[in-house]
Amino acid sequence: MSPPNTPTTLLMALTMLTILVMGSGVDAGPLPSFQEDRSSASIEIKGWGENISLLEQEDGTLVYRLEQPDGTFETLTPLQFAKRHFQREQGRDFINRLFNITSPIGIAWVLVGLLGQALFTGRMVVQWMVSERRGRSTVPVAFWWLSLMGASMLLVYFIWRKDIVGILGQGLGWFIYLRNLSLIYGRRTTHQPSAEIQNDADPEPALEGDGS
């Protein structure tokens, strides 16, 4: 069996990433409608069940218009709107404030992020324990599997948070971890290494002059 080539690996990676994003349940919100009336602008605020628009009146003043789920409208001045928002924020419980969420489903997303971070921490613990046991710096295969799983969960979490820094950081690492696993298992199928190498990836090479 020949090792997977790079184009096939990248195609598999893109397919898996697409499935993760589509299955994450991220709500990107309604697409903006390009209306002829430029005196209004839609506003999205997490935790508000109403559709909010900022309107410019004929005298140049601005007001907020809230569309209720039943189709009725409520108009608020900027001061009234700020007070309403302040009251809603004050009404949030400790958990919602701690995790910066506005709905119960947000707790589930935070748990996804925490589990992903736990896997990321666990990969370093596993690598350290294996290195101590063998007396040399070693990167076990489990390190790359934990990295891939942790990066996948964190990537979905950052997409939900709409955090571009986290998305870019985990997205690049995700492909690197997948590529390392592809190289490891591709090499095994062609060279049929011993059981010792089947448990671990290549160790760090010895430094020159260390007497080894």
Express each pLDDT in 91-139 by its tens digit: 666 676 667 776 778 888 889 999 999 998 999 999 999 999 999 999 9
Q: What share of the chain is helix, strand, coil (3-state, %, to 5)?
A: 60, 10, 30
60 pLDDT tier (thresholds 50, 70, 90): confident
CA dihedral 50, 54, 56, 57 (to 10 degrees): 20
- Provide the residue ranges of all domains of the chain, joining segments of one domain with +: 41-91, 103-199
- Rounded Cα gap, residues 128 and 112, in angstroms: 25
Q: Are the beta carbons of 119 and 152 closer than 8 angstroms? A: no
pLDDT value, residue 10? 52
Q: What is the pTM of this model?
A: 0.51
Cα–Cα dist 89/101, whole Å: 11
3-state secondary structure labels for all residues of 115-182: HHHHHHHHHHHHHHHHHHHHCCCCCEHHHHHHHHHHHHHHHHHHHHHCCHHHHHHHHHHHHHHHHHHH
Percent of the residues in the chain that have a pLDDT greater than 70, as a whole number: 62
Q: Residue 73: which pLDDT band, with cuts at 50, 70 and 90?
A: confident
Res. 210: pLDDT tops 90: no
pLDDT in tens, 129-150: 999 999 999 999 999 999 999 9
Residue count of the chain, please give it: 212
Confidence of residue 35 (pLDDT cuts 50, 70, 90): very low
Q: Which residues of 97-117 are buried (b: 16+ CB within 10 A; e: fewer)?
A: eeeebeeeebeebbebbeebe
Q: Please state, for a pLDDT cut of 90, what percent of the chain lies above it.
A: 31
Q: Which residues pair with 65 in a beta bridge?
A: 53, 75
Q: What is the mean predicted confidence (pLDDT) over 25-46? A: 53
Rounded CA separation 154/163 (Å): 11
Contacts for 170 with CB less than 8 Å, ≥ 6 apart: 151, 154, 155, 158
